[in-house]
Amino acid sequence: MSQESLETVVHQQAQKAKINLLGFSTSRLYDFFDGIGEKRFRATQIIKWIHQEGQCDFSKMTNLSKDLRSKLADIAEIKLPEVVSCQDSIDGTRKWLIRVDGGSCIEMVYIPERERGTLCVSSQIGCALDCSFCATGKQGFNRDLTAAEIIGQLWIAADSFDQFTPKAKRRVSNVVMMGMGEPLMNFDNVVDAMSIMLEDNAYGLSKRRVTLSTSGVVPQLDKLADVSDVSLAISLHAPNDELRNQLVPINRKYPLAQFIASAQNYIEKMPDNRRKVTVEYTLMDQINDRSIHARELAVLLKDLPCKINLIPFNSFPGSDYKTVTKTALSRFRDILMAEGYTVTVRTTRGDDIAAACGQLAGEVNDRTKRQARYKKRLDETQPINIIG
């Protein structure tokens, strides 16, 4: 085949690429239907089919005319990421390994509790921020997930619990953007996906039940305050800049004072002034778990309406840290409670399937050299088994 005709074939193939409607919010669907000369009310019908009925086949969308169904099938698709595996922990936690375009895999986790079921959703393949205590950071970074790949995680979990049918075994009642990646580094896609989570014609989750967690990308957090009012969690992990610079490197760019001020600004803009920021603090033995750290934290947060969630560190292969002792954890919690804070301690869930907080790794086709360096270090520190 000549070079010219090859280019023609490639061009024709590219022209044929279908538009994936899975990650389209109603407003994007309006634009889509405007663009193909159809009425806007079709947007509501489609979003309900996909996210309330769990239907991804246009031919089965019975309230659309046959012509429209066939037109949609020609130009669009509803394409989900692929589930590679699904593991259940002895405590009921479920972890999925999900392949996305390009071959990398991400992980998501469902944590059942008596009153609710929380889905921890990933926003990126790997993470560029490289927090020193996080397994995801060690995998390097590939790319941002698309809105379809983010909302597709919720669709997959809902489908696995028969949530699209009257015989639902369980429900996803809460979503936390706390899986792999820093959500605010993938701003537009995360905002689009969260809007589908909240939308009445889709999942209809309350804004109190959708939480975005950030490590402190301050300009994007300021921007989020203008377009969203979901619940906010801030991943602090240290009460002063010196220590936080080591644990959460983005702190060197946006120090604590800026981060706290931005979080304050976020909740002040919320229509419901009773809302509080959740402060996430992972406790590591002899690193950030001393009494002086608890007292410093109490001072740091004194003007921020917040509740504090203490997370005993969950180890992973090659991690440099150990988890907090029970004594240090109680002491840390008591100091904060004595200062008037509401403090919860996160129970470790899904540890046996590496699904606990900070343990998600996936399979990242790393575009940085970080994963290779991490693996080399793991190899160097592995004990050598001599059989003889």
Residues involved in catalysis: 107, 357
141 vs 203, beta carbon nearer ligand SF4: 141
Q: Which of residues 265-294 bind ligand SF4 (CB under 6 A)?
A: none
Query: Binding of ligand SF4 at residue 251 (CB under 6 A)?
Result: no
Amino acid at 265: N
Work out how close the CB of 248 gets to ligand SF4 at its nearest, in angstroms, rounded to a whole number. 6
Amino acid at 384: I
Selected binder of ligand SF4 within 72, 97, 108, 134 (CB under 6 A): 134
Query: Binding of ligand SF4 at residue 238 (CB under 6 A)?
Result: no
CA distance 217 to 51: 30
CA distance 246 to 284: 13
Which tokens belong to 213? 């967690």
Query: Binding of ligand SF4 at residue 319 (CB under 6 A)?
Result: no
CA distance 203 to 134: 30
Selected binder of ligand SF4 within 97, 127, 233, 267 (CB under 6 A): 127
Selected binder of ligand SF4 within 152, 181, 312, 350 (CB under 6 A): 181
Query: Binding of ligand SF4 at residue 182 (CB under 6 A)?
Result: yes
| Range 289-293 contact pairs with CB under 8 angstroms and sequence separation of 24 or more | 289/324, 289/325, 289/328, 289/329, 289/332, 290/328, 291/331, 291/332, 291/335, 293/238, 293/239, 293/243, 293/332
Selected binder of ligand SF4 within 20, 25, 89, 136 (CB under 6 A): 136
What number of residues does the chain have? 388
b/e string for 330-354 if b means 16 or more Cβ within 10 A? eebbebbeeeebebebbebbbbebb
Work out how close the CB of 194 gets to ligand SF4 at its nearest, in angstroms, rounded to a whole number. 17
Interface region with ligand SF4, contact rule CB under 6 A, candidates 23-31, 87-95, 126-134, 373-381 = 126-134
Query: Binding of ligand SF4 at residue 130 (CB under 6 A)?
Result: yes
Note the residues at the interface with ligand SF4 (CB under 6 A): 127, 129-131, 134, 136-137, 180-182, 215
